[in-house]
Structure 1
Amino acid sequence: MNLGQVHMNGGDGETSYANNSFFQEKAISLTKSIREEAIISLFSETLPRSIAIADLGCSCGPNTLSVISEIIIVVEKFCQELNFSSTEYKIFFNDLSGNDFNSVFKSLDNFKVKLLDEIIKTEMGPCYFFGVPGSFYGRIFPDRSLDFVHSSYSLHWLSKVPEGLDNKGNIYISNTSPSNVVKAYYKQFQKDFSIFLKCRAEELVEGGRMVLTIIGRRNNDPCDTEYLCDDWEVLATALNDMVLQGFIKEDQVNNFNIPHYYPSPYEVELEVLNEGSFVINRIELFETDISASSDKSDFDSESKMSRLLLCDKIGYNVARCMRAILEPLLVSHFGEAIIEDIFNRYLEILIDQKPKERKNSVNVTISLTRKG
């Protein structure tokens, strides 16, 4: 599997990440207060004349700039309240080299105009924007060059598929996966997250802040069926059906495993404590409603037809979101010719499910301070 293809669909088309990142948008909204608390704490303690902010796994689309806008507005309002002059901003967008950085930079002019309108201030400090391609499971910035690091919905991606998996018929941890598959995924998460923390500790200034949101789970048991991922089970079903019908080979599915791991709060906290460079300020769990992106205003909840239409709407939204995330990875492994078929089958399975049978996404958010 070519993990160089781990990037979202670029552009602004129907299957682009920019137009299908509503679940990620909801997670960003839910964790806003934690970011505000961290940035105000950082700024009030140091009162920097220049602040360097990095968004790791920034991807592309409106969510990328919304986080940066939110942070700048918080700092500007704080400066106004204390009658301080505005600070200088250095904004770093990081993702793998396949990311659609062009769309991010094309959006910057409109972003600046809207930002000034929201701040309602005649003069704001200069903003400098940089693209930083590369894996965050390694050094990507100079020593002590960052003040604030943000990452949302990125750290569940592993640096690679765990080695030695024998996970036939599955593409992720399942209740039919052997125990060594579960151990291999957890071991890879431990290694990757520890490296991530070590690298950021070297790049952040003393007292620098970091806020991370990771798709996770409540339970400490990754095999608990309540916390197994619906979406991978559905995709595995679609792929295995295609094997039975002769569209793809069985070995292709058996050799395809998703490089994800959804940690519990305990697992996240344990790695932070073991690595030792950060103080944990807060660690919280949030649930993202899978129907959050659906426009329910046209549906009568008492109507059977309305319930069926809502089910279709949810399924359609989930399928589009998954395609925006996974299409490049699936194309690199299975080829482009069968992509439409895969997601048509995926959508059919989702629509057959009842909305109440789908589980909400669990998000682990942790706020950290770099030790002195």
Structure 2
Amino acid sequence: MEVTKVLHMNGGIGNSCYAKNSLLQVILMTKSITNKVISTLYNNLSPGETIRIVDLGCSSGPNTFLTISQLIQTIHEECKSNGQQQSPEIHVFLNDLPSNDFNTIFRLLPTFYEDLRKQNMGGDGLFVTGVAGSFYTRLFPCKTLHFVHSSYSLHWLSQVPDGIESKKGNIYMASTSPPSVVKAYYEQYERDFVNFLKYCSKELVDGGCMILTILGRKNEDRFSK
């Protein structure tokens, strides 16, 4: 089964929507690393060059704009510290699967732009584009992106591993899963992540950077949280 055809967070603005339930803001945990990377990218820009950033797996909740806000603030502060009056233009690509609730994002954009102006961080030089598609495929032309960001998205596989649909019991990894199920998930993740790196290597400009936040384990127990 292809995950790209069915996977999405709850859309809309109701009580059960992702926008009202995405309170864990993991991006704050990587803020210092992100600031350092963006500062380096900014200082390596050619005069008048537009910074192109993608957030992979943006979903449609408030965390979408939290990511963009942090990146813009870092660029703005770097610009001021260098004595420059105007920040470079920024093109942000928001990526998720086609079933994602992009409409909610676009409806909130005018308010987001207004908030930036109130904080004296411009808004007129910011351009936001929605990009629907799997990040396990090519999404951008060669040498397009300066910075790739993804938070808690790359643990989703592109599909349910082949060969486990007929297994009795759990088709996910559990303590009772046979070794074949564990092996199938491992190999599917390996294929997906190799494809991701292969495509990103083409889409990034020379000297471009990525920050990827991915779930992991603290020990070798395959069933550990």
- Into which bin does the TM-score normalised by the smaller protein fall? over 0.9
Considering only aligned residues, what root-mean-square deviation do their CA atoms show, in Å?
Answer: 1.6
1:193 maps to what in 2? 193
* C-alpha distance in structure 2 between counterparts of 1:105 and 1:205, whole Å: 27
Q: Does 1:64 align with 2:61?
A: no
2:101 maps to what in 1? 100
* C-alpha distance in structure 2 between counterparts of 1:125 and 1:204, whole Å: 25
* C-alpha distance in structure 2 between counterparts of 1:70 and 1:125, whole Å: 17
Pairs within 5 Å for 1:256-271: none
* C-alpha distance in structure 2 between counterparts of 1:124 and 1:9, whole Å: 28
Q: 1:161 to 1:124 in 2, by over 3 A?
A: closer
Aligned residues: 221
Residue 146 of structure 2 aligns to a residue in which SS? strand
Deviations 1:289-316 (A, max 9, x none): xxxxxxxxxxxxxxxxxxxxxxxxxxxx
Alpha-carbon contact 1:151-1:212 (below 8 Å) kept: yes
State the AA in 1 paired with 2:97.
Answer: L
Q: Does 1:76 align with 2:76?
A: yes
* C-alpha distance in structure 1 between counterparts of 2:219 and 2:200, whole Å: 27
* C-alpha distance in structure 1 between counterparts of 2:29 and 2:180, whole Å: 35
Q: Give how far 1:127 is off.
A: 1.1
* C-alpha distance in structure 2 between counterparts of 1:125 and 1:75, whole Å: 15
2:125 maps to what in 1? 126
* C-alpha distance in structure 2 between counterparts of 1:157 and 1:135, whole Å: 11
1:32 maps to what in 2? 31
Residue 35 of structure 2 aligns to a residue in which SS? helix
Deviations 1:216-270 (A, max 9, x none): 21223423xxx14xxxxxxxxxxxxxxxxxxxxxxxxxxxxxxxxxxxxxxxxxx
Q: Give how far 1:167 is off.
A: 4.5
Residue 20 of structure 2 aligns to a residue in which SS? coil
Q: 1:191 to 1:2 in 2, by over 3 A?
A: closer
Residue 29 of structure 1 aligns to a residue in which SS? helix
* C-alpha distance in structure 2 between counterparts of 1:109 and 1:7, whole Å: 24
1:213 maps to what in 2? 213
State the AA in 1 paired with 2:102.
Answer: F
Alpha-carbon contact 2:116-2:123 (below 8 Å) kept: no
1:161 maps to what in 2? 160
Pairs within 5 Å for 1:104-183: 104-118=105-119, 120=120, 126-165=125-164, 167-183=167-183
Residue 131 of structure 1 aligns to a residue in which SS? strand
2:89 maps to what in 1? 88
Deviations 1:200-230 (A, max 9, x none): 110000000110111221223423xxx14xx
Which has more helix, going by share of residues?
A: 1
* C-alpha distance in structure 2 between counterparts of 1:117 and 1:168, whole Å: 58
* C-alpha distance in structure 2 between counterparts of 1:116 and 1:96, whole Å: 30
Which is further off, 41-50 or 142-151?
41-50
Alpha-carbon contact 1:86-1:125 (below 8 Å) kept: no
State the AA in 1 paired with 2:22.
Answer: S
Using the size of structure 1 for normalisation, the TM-score is 0.57
Q: Give how far 1:61 is off.
A: 1.3
Q: Give how far 1:125 is off.
A: 5.6
Structure 1 gaps of 5+ residues are 229-372
* C-alpha distance in structure 2 between counterparts of 1:35 and 1:202, whole Å: 22
Alpha-carbon contact 1:89-1:125 (below 8 Å) kept: no
* C-alpha distance in structure 2 between counterparts of 1:28 and 1:124, whole Å: 22
* C-alpha distance in structure 2 between counterparts of 1:125 and 1:83, whole Å: 20
* C-alpha distance in structure 1 between counterparts of 2:212 and 2:105, whole Å: 21
State the AA in 1 paired with 2:159.
Answer: K
State the AA in 2 paired with 1:147.
Answer: H
State the AA in 2 paired with 1:199.
Answer: Y
Q: 1:167 to 1:216 in 2, by over 3 A?
A: farther
Residue 216 of structure 1 aligns to a residue in which SS? coil
Alpha-carbon contact 2:96-2:133 (below 8 Å) kept: yes
* C-alpha distance in structure 2 between counterparts of 1:171 and 1:30, whole Å: 33
Using the size of structure 2 for normalisation, the TM-score is 0.92
* C-alpha distance in structure 1 between counterparts of 2:190 and 2:221, whole Å: 15
Deviations 1:100-120 (A, max 9, x none): 0011111111111112223x3
